[in-house]
Structure 1
Amino acid sequence: MKTVGIIGGSGFIGSHTTKKFLQEGFKVRVSATDISKSEKYDHLKNLPNAENLEILPLKVEIKSQLKEFTKGCDIVVHGGTPFQLDVQDPKTELFDPTIKGTENFLEVINETQGIEKVVFIASVASYNTNFPLLPNGKSPDDTIDESDQPFMSEESHPYAQAKYIANQTVEKFIEEHPNADFEITSVSPVAVMGKSLSQREDSTSSGLQFLFKNKIAPNPFVQMLFDTDTEFAIVDVKDVADGIYSSAIKKGLNGKNYLLSSESWKVSDITKMLNNEKPNGNGKIVYRNDKAKQELGIEFNKAEVPLREFGQ
């Protein structure tokens, strides 16, 4: 039985990823930033094959904990960077744990024996920090794929900037370590939607769906999305978990970063689907998923699937 370590394995995407690996017969090691707060990971203990689940304390800023967590793992999935829209101190809340955490992680896995594969859960921000808006130079009729030049703006949200820089850090490591003993593959999901496996109330993805469903704008950023009826590219959280799993078990994908996306819909239509109503418009493809389909073997659900599941 192979062991996978999933940093961030009790979060929104992480829980579905943990479930997928348990289903596929892996021993799964999940990180907890505070092991005493069992309410954040207790839901994982009810998953099928949970007897193969282990919870270990880990803060990515602490190298000794990273070494202990990754020791004995065949595969390591890194999805432990914070995702939040309301930020008081970007450096402390986002940049340090995201960028410094990535640097520490790369340093540790490079020294750890036995790791065969590393998967980074990156973000659409690694291709476009303006998301959900288009990158500069793109028109509403254009599409975006992995061959496009990544776009970064210092005026973008701090979360997006942090994820972009972290992805650049990963790419630099891959370039500087051509003979590493392990492969690194990244996946970059757009807005991840669907039903959470837990009752946690600290998920930004679930929170955003709640705001869209109930037409609530707690800050200027979300109000802007309503005011402009912004188009949002959506992907089902279960498809993201499948993409992470496929990236982990397939060989020959070193250095690749896959966009995971289904259709783009206007916020007003997202609200309708979350309320189980018929949308006024139609979805369209903005972020292309051809590469993920072909090389990872994913068949992406239509966007209405996770939206209706959340609304149930």
Structure 2
Amino acid sequence: SLDIVEMDLLDAESVREAVAGCESVIHTAAVVVLKSKRAQEKIVDPSVVGTRNVLDAIDSSGTVRCLIHTSSTAAIRPSSWEDGQTLTTDTWAEDATIEENPYGLAKYTAERLVRDWHSAKNNSVRMVTINPCVVLGPPLSRRHLNGSPSFLMMLLRREIPFVITIHISIVDVRDVAEAHVRAMTQGE
């Protein structure tokens, strides 16, 4: 069975309680904010500290055998990316900075944390990372309207007052959800 659990990712005890007794963890939580005057606090820390708390909770549980980690193309897409370049597990957004790309920095740092943890565990916990692009679709709740859908709505409402050059890929949230379930139930 699948239980969707709400917790405070920055509260280690809250995360430990949520993970206790689980066999698999699908870690999808992230703050989807591209810019902030307090980027470290509002964007980077929730992803990095939250991910560290999830990993620590998995270690404490003794029951988790599978981690599905939702990352992002932002973690593996460097600013120097060029049209046609293939992004792989060896491609990283290492040039992401708190000033220029705090979301990419957050996702890159969190994913590296997961991969380093997995290596240190000698692969004793099966781990799959999924790197979707902009995820759109029916929201789980109204508060999810502040994530990726807000950017699309800003474009549609002409609230972005300038023309921007942008490469954007979009994936349906239902396809991403199916990928997570398949990764958990069928393997890598």
Indicate whether the TM-score tops 0.5: yes
Structure 2 match to 1:71? 20
Contact 2:77–2:91, Cα closer than 8 Å, also in 1:
no
Matched, 1:88 2:37: yes
Other structure's SS at 1:200 match: helix
Give the TM-score, by structure 2 length: 0.88
Superposition deviation, residue 167 in structure 1: 0.6
Superposition deviation, residue 129 in structure 1: 4.6
Other structure's SS at 1:227 match: coil
Structure 2 match to 1:250? 186
Superposition deviation, residue 194 in structure 1: 2.4
> Equivalent of 1:125, from 70, 74, 77?
74
Please show how residues 1-312 of structure 1 align to structure 2 within 5 Å.
26-31=1-6, 58-130=7-79, 136=80, 138-140=81-83, 142-146=84-88, 149-153=91-95, 154=97, 156-180=100-124, 182-200=125-143, 202-217=145-160, 223=162, 226-228=163-165, 230-251=166-187, 253=188
What is the one-letter code of the residue matched to 2:3? V
Give the TM-score, by structure 1 length: 0.55
Contact 1:195–1:206, Cα closer than 8 Å, also in 2:
no
**Long gaps (5+) in structure 1:** 1-25, 32-57, 131-135, 254-312
- Listed one character per residue, the Cα deviations across residues 17-72 of structure 1 (whole Å, up to 9, x for unaligned) are xxxxxxxxx241421xxxxxxxxxxxxxxxxxxxxxxxxxx211222111110112
Structure 2 match to 1:263? none
Superposition deviation, residue 202 in structure 1: 4.6
Superposition deviation, residue 171 in structure 1: 1.0
Superposition deviation, residue 195 in structure 1: 3.1
**Residues 29 and 204 of structure 1: CA distance in aligned 2, closer, same or farther (over 3 Å):** closer
Task: Please identify which structure carries the higher strand content.
Answer: 1
1: distance between equivalents of 2:164 and 2:2? 47
Q: Report which structure shows greater RCO (CA 8 Å, sep ≥6).
A: 2
Contact 1:85–1:204, Cα closer than 8 Å, also in 2:
no
Aligned residues: 186
2: distance between equivalents of 1:238 and 1:232? 18
* Alpha-carbon RMSD: 2.0
- Listed one character per residue, the Cα deviations across residues 202-240 of structure 1 (whole Å, up to 9, x for unaligned) are 52211111112222217xxxx4xx332x22111111111
Contact 2:77–2:87, Cα closer than 8 Å, also in 1:
no
**Residues 173 and 147 of structure 1: CA distance in aligned 2, closer, same or farther (over 3 Å):** closer
Determine which structure has more spread, i.e. the larger CA radius of gyration.
1
**Long gaps (5+) in structure 2:** none
